A = this chain, B = another copy of it.
Amino acid sequence: MIERLLPGLGWLRGYDRAALQGDGLAAVIVTIMLIPQSLAYALLAGLPPEAGLYASMLPLVAYALFGSSATLAVGPVAVVSLMTAAAVGELTAVGTPEYRGAALVLALLSGLFLVAMGLARLGFLASLLSHPVISGFITASGLLIAASQLKHILGVEASGHTLPELALSLFENIDAVNGPTLAIGAGATLFLFWVRGLLKPLLMKAGLGPRWADSAAKAGPVAAVIATILLVDLLSLDQAGVSVVGAIPEGLPPLALPPLDPALWRDLLPAAVLISVVGFVESVSVAQTLAAKRRERIAPNRELIGLGAANLAAGVTGGYPVTGGFARSVVNFDAGARTPLAGVMTALGIGVTALLLTPLFQQLPKATLAATIVVAVLSLVDLGALKRTWAYSKGDFAAMAATILVVLGVGVEAGIVTGVTLSLVIFLVRASRPHMAVVGQVPGTQHFRNVKRHLVITSPQVLSLRVDESLYFANARWLEDRLYDMAAADPGIRHVVLICSAVNDIDASALESLEALTERLEAAGVRFHLSEVKGPVMDKLKRSHFLDKLTGLVFLSQYDALTALDPGTTWRALNEPRPERSAAAS
């Protein structure tokens, strides 16, 4: 019963001590990782640090109740934080109550949209985001995020939502670089790169198991946080111009509805849709990868509802849009998380932090948080993918490159819309030019093959064409013209036979084109026939008037067609091979 209402709770059955141990250990490690991340991503989103903590509590519990992945770690993530900053920053000014309100509306709208998609079972629409577009988007977002954090590391003012704007703004303010801030920021960045790249091998050399070495390396940001807090506190660096996080209100998240301003909701809706889709796609990818390792599976439509619930929770508890984090989920999985209870315990850990530990973060330099962001997002940047995609497919490369350039030069939302549109157009262009072949009979058999690739027999008065694609609106008119032109090019042709062995569907537009083609060929004195029509397609044609208008016949096989339309072919062609047509073998 409870499983039907809250499908996320299926794991409660058979929960045991081993699972509890796994979940508990994972929760401790993820909490340690999440504390600096949640503060840093709130900073990236232009929100006060507590918003990051709030987004890491109830949303995790909501996902545990409704989601389908046992190990996905939900919460604030870099790309969604950047998208939040871009969307909200367009409407209101950072630091105002309106800005926080708009971020709440964005989370709520995103939650409503995800839940609606899940209930309507529309998860498959996320497949419109092709892999090159996602990959380009993540790479460009990573570069943009890293650039946006440079100001915190340098201790200068800078603004802008595109790479050129950010670069120009930094360049103009480069004189104002604050020495102590730069020292902390650059030091933390170098330290974190060292931890990520070199510490793990060192620890393993020192005898630590690879799993423990990895977990220790993941605690790097916490070490940087503690060290730089102490540094600021001991040297009073906040007096020397080092910008710090400042007072964070203690206590649990406030429970309140976001502003109910229809104009604001309408303005934020497109961004909420994009954030939802991007977050969903990222989240499902990692959840699927992890589930496969244990031969579990995740249900995309339930994922939509789980992520939707998490965002609804974020929207009413002072957070901002959340989704499943890649690195965090992998850590959760590797640390032994077995069930969604790990997420609930992580939420408890963040809750304890929010209740008791926030005074400790008052002296935390923003430069340290910026360093953790830079190191995290640069690991997402994969410029090599550009080269690999170029080698594999020029069309996919174009979609990827366009996404990257538009994200960097115009903005995140424009970038993803450009990428999706371009990949759709490229796909339609490809599909609108299907492969088609003039075929002839392989001597002595009932098989028919491409005249360009095989030595085959053709009839001078029968043109036999095979189209290797379903017939539908994007290719119908082109095929109509091609078939007509080929028939019209040779005045000797009296019959055209379209071989439909690869045609799985004929839509209404293609039906119309076939009718038009029949008329055009009839006007030219050529009869039009079909052969090898599949059962379901034939059923459909019978429901239309096409077969009444067809000037020719429908043959069960192409062999039947040729023998009926030109009974003398075999004899004549075998005795008089027509090398100009049939010998062009390849």
**A413 at the A/B interface (Cβ < 8 Å)?**
no
Q: Is the interface of A mostly helix, strand, loop or mixed?
A: helix
Contact A473 B124 (CB under 8 A): no
Partner of A428, one of B126, B128, B292, B513: B128
Contact A391 B427 (CB under 8 A): no
Give Cα distance in the complex from A379 to B81, angstroms. 56
Give Cα distance in the complex from A31 to B504, angstroms. 48
Contact A508 B474 (CB under 8 A): no
**A523 at the A/B interface (Cβ < 8 Å)?**
yes
Q: Mark A418-458, 1 if CB is under 8 A from B, else 0.
A: 00000110011111100100000000000000000000000
Contact B488 A295 (CB under 8 A): yes
**A334 at the A/B interface (Cβ < 8 Å)?**
no
**A393 at the A/B interface (Cβ < 8 Å)?**
yes
Contact B475 A127 (CB under 8 A): yes
User: In the complex, which residues 497-516 of chain A have their Cβ closer than 8 Å to any Cβ of chain B?
Assistant: 502, 504-505, 507-509, 511-513, 516
Given the known interface contacts A473-B130, A476-B127, A544-B392, the answer about A289 and B519 at a Cβ–Cβ threshold of 8 Å is: yes
User: How many copies of this chain does one complex carry?
Assistant: 2
Given the known interface contacts A427-B473, A540-B393, the answer about A130 and B504 at a Cβ–Cβ threshold of 8 Å is: no
| A-side interface size class | 35 or more
Partner of A508, one of B131, B478, B484: B131
* B residues near A297, Cβ cutoff 8 Å: 481, 484-485, 488
Chain B residue with Cβ nearest A488: B295
Contact A473 B544 (CB under 8 A): no
Chain B residue with Cβ nearest A508: B396
Give Cα distance in the complex from A513 to B481, angstroms. 36
Give Cα distance in the complex from A429 to B523, angstroms. 37
**A66 at the A/B interface (Cβ < 8 Å)?**
no
Closest 6 CB pairs of A and B: A292-B520, A130-B473, A131-B509, A396-B508, A131-B512, A130-B509
Please list 24 pairs of residues, one from A and one from B, whose beta carbons are closer than 8 Å in the complex, sorted by A's number. Answer: A124-B429, A124-B477, A124-B478, A127-B474, A127-B475, A127-B478, A130-B473, A131-B473, A131-B508, A131-B513, A288-B520, A289-B516, A289-B519, A292-B484, A292-B519, A292-B524, A295-B488, A295-B523, A295-B524, A388-B545, A393-B507, A427-B473, A431-B431, A435-B504
Give me 14 other A-B pairs in contact (C-beta within 8 A), A131-B512, A289-B516, A295-B523 excluded: A124-B477, A127-B478, A130-B507, A297-B485, A392-B511, A392-B540, A392-B544, A393-B507, A396-B508, A424-B424, A427-B472, A430-B505, A431-B431, A502-B502
